Structure 1
Amino acid sequence: MWHAKGLKQNAKKSLQKNFWRILGICLLVGFIATGMRVTHHVDNAAKHFIGGRFEFPSNAQIMNELYQDIRQRNAPEYNETLEQLGQVYTPEKGVLARIYNRMTEDKSVLYGFVNAMDDIFLKDKATQGIIILAGVVILLLFLAFISNILLVGQCRFLLENRSYQQVKLGRLLFPWRVRRWRKTAFTMFERSFFIFLWDLTIIGGIIKRYSYKMIPYILAENPDIGHTEAFELSRKMMYGNKMKTFLLDLSFLGWRVLNLFTFGILRYVWINPYVEAVYAELYCSLRQEALAQKYPHYEYLNDTLLFTASSLEDYPVEQYPLYNPNTKKWMKTDYRRTYSIRSVILIFFSFSMIGWLWEVSLHLFGDGVFVNRGFFHGPWLPIYGTGGVLIILLLKKFVDRPLVTFFMTVLVCGIVEYFVALFLWEFKQMYWWNYTGYFLNLHGRICAEGLLIFGLGGCAFIYILAPFFDEIFKKIPKKIAIIICAVLLTVFAADTAYSMIHPNSGAGITDYETH
């Protein structure tokens, strides 16, 4: 038998371990996966309570809010904000500029994005009906394959956080990492669909939300469970507990009233993490009862390590019932490795050449002409190699935090690109690239679009490509590798000396207008 007071006490202890990580995950999932929950509407009830009356939103109100979510909350204030952004700032060039401009013109993030894709790929040939249909399809796919799965990942993080000291943020990707994302997506989409249908009734929607409340936690413990079994087990666990859980939600009313005086900030920095931690405690209590009473399909609740107090820093993945050595090997790519000087040199040239091929291909397939891109005459763009080498050497201590690594990669690559462009202008009074007119550019030397690509490419470089190439280069006999490095460095030095006097220039290379 569980009590709200005990659940809250345990939840606060759990929050103390990793509050900032839990806050970050709740903010991220709340932003990406805005699932409709009854507790999300208690703030409205708090407003009525303050006004002298107390009532919960009807199913009609819930459905109306769901419709507004589907249309990306196109409230008048939302439309006005997008319209004002369009009036204040209108970039002219690049893919991000097109997307931004369509969003501000259409006053909708979702449909602006779909219209931008229509402009770019279909040359504005799709009808409005197709655009709306595409928007609905995108939302459904996003709900099925991203939002719902992330909710399960959040539940997994919260459950592990109860027993372990340092839970990794990667647990948010748990269903994908154990290769059960398809089953998880199907079960969670079925849950969303049934709740949607029950919302059409007078009171069934609220009841079924509580009846199906344990499904994400069951999947977080064992995503191998069938969808029918997950529904039956959740219903059985919540049988006789729906009203108590409803009252548990009401017990947060004081916090939600207080939230009104903080302009909604308290909801995100405390209430949401606190409530989610309490739900995790509720699942643990109901799970114990399910095992003791041997509810139908209780055998799927078999992750005992998840609920055993431990002094370990994190969950022992190798002992997980669905542990897959191949998955583990893929998850544990040794991106913390130390690179030899030979590997660093070869990686520098490899990515300088890949960068050259990338930019040459853009002109070749985009304009139908071959352009030898870059300041140098050889088949390399050293700015790519320099950025790659710098991030694997400078950002090693951040690699366990992918989000920080991404932003640090953007910062490092942005500094390199900006100052190289500045040097080339001061040195030769010419531009080898110019982002003037692009979305969020700085002096035409860097822009948001390029930095986003550098950030994503840099993360792929750190976590996948650099270790992959390093493994290949390690197989080259040491003497041969030294000879290759010496030859490349000699040719590059000669190219550098010649290019300093006669830089590579011409159509498609330096024919850019001044800032």
Structure 2
Amino acid sequence: MWNRKNLKKNGKKNLKKNYWRILGISLLVAFIASGMKVTHQVDNAAMYFVGGRFDLPSNAQIVNDWYFSIRESDAPQNNQVLEFLGEHYTPKKGALAHIYNRMTEEKSALYGFINAMNDFIFKDKATEGMIILAGVFLMILFLALVSNVLAVGQCRFLLENRTYRQSKMGRLAFPWRVKRWKATAFTMFERSFLIFLWDLTIIGGIIKRYSYKMIPYILAENPDIGHKEAFALSKRMMKGNKMRGFLLDFSFLGWRILSAFTLGILGYVWIKPYTETVWAEVYAALRQEALEQGYSGAEYLNDKLLFEESDAEEYPVELYPLYNPETKTWIRINYRRKYTVCSLILMFFSFSVIGWLWEVSLHLFGDGVFVNRGFFHGPWLPIYGAGGVLIVALLKRFLDKPLILFLLTMVVCGIVEYTAGFILWETKHMYWWNYSGYFLNLHGRICAEGLIVFGLGGCAFIYIIAPFFDEIFKKIPRRAAIILCVILLSVFAADSVYSAVYPNSGAGITDYENHG
């Protein structure tokens, strides 16, 4: 039987042992998987750093926040949550905003959604209805294929961190690296969907949340377990422990109250990482009990290297006991690598295109219109590519110092964005973005919240995305890679010359007011 005091003591020890990496992973997962994003509306500066469920950053995340609203509430009453949300946030644009407002007006997620669908279909809003449905589909797809799988990777890191001093941030990609992401995604999506259904009963949602609590940890230890076995084993492990788990979470209430006086900052930099390490201790205790009692499915808990004392600095991946021998050639994500010129060029264009898709998507699903964002006419935003490549080229020496890397990434991206904004204004007297009125902005060209997002994204880029893309680019024959680079650079040069004379402008692109 586990002891709450000892679990918290061990969790705190493991957190302090590798604090900066745990914090970095916690922030990255929150940013990438849970939709944490600093608000783009700064009417209420007190909510600036929270970026949570009550200060929604964009319409595209409203359905996601609705889904998690009950789970994250200390007093989960559906109508009270929706009433609170309606009082504190009322978006004006986009089809998703309409659904959200309907839900808060009706104080019912179900009836609000039905009425919103009625508006779309029968009140000349069929187009917006298609957009919202597409947005919901993409959100669910992202939740299933990325968010949930990342959560398992985070659990893997936390479990390795208990035993090894130098656990790597690349463990976030664990399900993909061992080629088990499909099965992992299926099991985790089933878990999310069932919790969603149970949430409709309010109390059942709380109970099942604890009943299924061990599933991501079980998958992190052995993703070969079947989804039925994973559910059955988690329920058996949590039998008689659900109330104890609830009381464990409740014991952090004092920290959460204190966090309110720090505008929520304490929640991200200490409370969330702390609770995550403690729950890893809970899993270790319940795992030991499952093995001793011989629970059905406990045979899948066979990664002894995670729990045996070791003097090794890092988990010996070559000994990982997956059933399929092919996965024993576990590829490490080596972010301490040298990038070829071709790889850097291809990364520049890849990240530029991703940035363009991101900003176009914000307008498409937020306002329901397609906007070709950026100064250039092609499907790229070079400011993203330039920032990513500069981070890789200039900041590699700080790879073992995540906090310093994060801060320097903010500096580099801030310089790039400010310089680009300054040059565009001085040469074209137009604004392609304007942060005037945003918290801590400088001449409307950069702002604190944007730099925080760039800092988190830059860390994700240098630790995960850049090595991932580099592995792909290495598979391209050298001659083909050179030809591809020449073609891309030529097209980009032509676009640059044309855009210098006829810059891309118009509604949603340059229709900003002067900097205030």
Q: Same fold (TM over 0.5)?
A: yes
Distance 1:160 1:386 in 2: 35
8 Å Cα contact 1:387-1:412 kept in structure 2? yes
Structure 1 position 403, deviation (Å): 10
8 Å Cα contact 1:421-1:432 kept in structure 2? no
What pairs up with 1:25-104 in 2 under 5 angstroms? 25=25, 73-76=81-84, 78-82=85-89
Structure 2 CA distance for partners of 1:175 and 1:200, relative to 1, 3 Å: same
Alignment match, 1:256: 253
Structure 1 position 430, deviation (Å): 3.8
Q: Which amino acid aligns with 1:306?
A: L
Structure 2 CA distance for partners of 1:64 and 1:14, relative to 1, 3 Å: closer
Residue 347 of structure 1 aligns to a residue whose secondary structure is: helix
Distance 1:450 1:276 in 2: 26
Distance 2:196 2:396 in 1: 44
Q: Which amino acid aligns with 2:159?
A: L
Range moving further from structure 2, 269-278 or 224-233: 269-278
Alignment match, 2:345: 347
Structure 1 position 276, deviation (Å): 3.9
1:505 equivalent in alignment to 2:501: yes
1:463 equivalent in alignment to 2:467: yes
Name structure 2 gaps, 5 residues minimum.
36-68, 361-368
Q: Which amino acid aligns with 2:167?
A: V
Q: Which amino acid aligns with 1:505?
A: V
Distance 2:221 2:28 in 1: 21
Distance 2:392 2:71 in 1: 49
Distance 1:98 1:408 in 2: 36
Structure 1 position 82, deviation (Å): 3.5
Residue 232 of structure 2 aligns to a residue whose secondary structure is: helix
Q: Which amino acid aligns with 2:184?
A: W
Distance 2:94 2:420 in 1: 27
Distance 1:144 1:385 in 2: 27
Q: Please provide the CA RMSD for this pair.
A: 6.5
Distance 1:425 1:351 in 2: 24
Structure 1 position 302, deviation (Å): 0.9
Residue 338 of structure 2 aligns to a residue whose secondary structure is: coil
What pairs up with 1:111-122 in 2 under 5 angstroms? none
Alignment match, 1:55: none
For normalisation by structure 1, the TM-score amounts to 0.58
CA offsets 1:135-186 (integer angstroms, 9 cap, x no match): 8767766665555544434433322221111323343443344423234325
Range moving further from structure 2, 432-441 or 189-198: 432-441
Alignment match, 1:416: 416
8 Å Cα contact 1:214-1:283 kept in structure 2? yes
Alignment match, 1:306: 306
Distance 2:456 2:276 in 1: 31
Structure 1 position 444, deviation (Å): 7.5
8 Å Cα contact 2:157-2:172 kept in structure 1? yes
Q: Which amino acid aligns with 2:191?
A: M
Structure 1 position 229, deviation (Å): 1.9
- Selected match of 1:182 from 162, 181, 185: 185
Distance 1:199 1:503 in 2: 55
Structure 1 position 421, deviation (Å): 5.6
Distance 2:186 2:157 in 1: 19
Alignment match, 2:281: 281
Structure 1 position 307, deviation (Å): 0.8
Alignment match, 1:48: none
Distance 1:268 1:216 in 2: 21
1:234 equivalent in alignment to 2:237: no
Structure 2 CA distance for partners of 1:325 and 1:257, relative to 1, 3 Å: same
Residue 501 of structure 2 aligns to a residue whose secondary structure is: coil
Residue 295 of structure 1 aligns to a residue whose secondary structure is: coil
Structure 1 position 477, deviation (Å): 13
Structure 2 CA distance for partners of 1:335 and 1:248, relative to 1, 3 Å: closer
Structure 1 position 2, deviation (Å): 3.9
Structure 2 CA distance for partners of 1:24 and 1:387, relative to 1, 3 Å: closer
Structure 1 position 301, deviation (Å): 1.0
Q: Which amino acid aligns with 1:246?
A: M
Alignment match, 1:291: 291
Distance 2:144 2:415 in 1: 39
Name structure 1 gaps, 5 residues minimum.
35-60, 91-96, 375-379
Distance 1:155 1:317 in 2: 16
Which is higher, the Rg of structure 1 or of structure 2? 1
For normalisation by structure 2, the TM-score amounts to 0.58
Alignment match, 1:395: 395
Distance 1:310 1:350 in 2: 41
Structure 1 position 300, deviation (Å): 0.8
Alignment match, 2:49: none
CA offsets 1:368-403 (integer angstroms, 9 cap, x no match): x9xx969xxxxx999888656534321323567899
Q: Which amino acid aligns with 2:253?
A: R
8 Å Cα contact 2:421-2:445 kept in structure 1? yes
Alignment match, 1:126: 126
Alignment match, 1:160: 160
Structure 2 CA distance for partners of 1:99 and 1:286, relative to 1, 3 Å: same
Structure 2 CA distance for partners of 1:82 and 1:397, relative to 1, 3 Å: farther
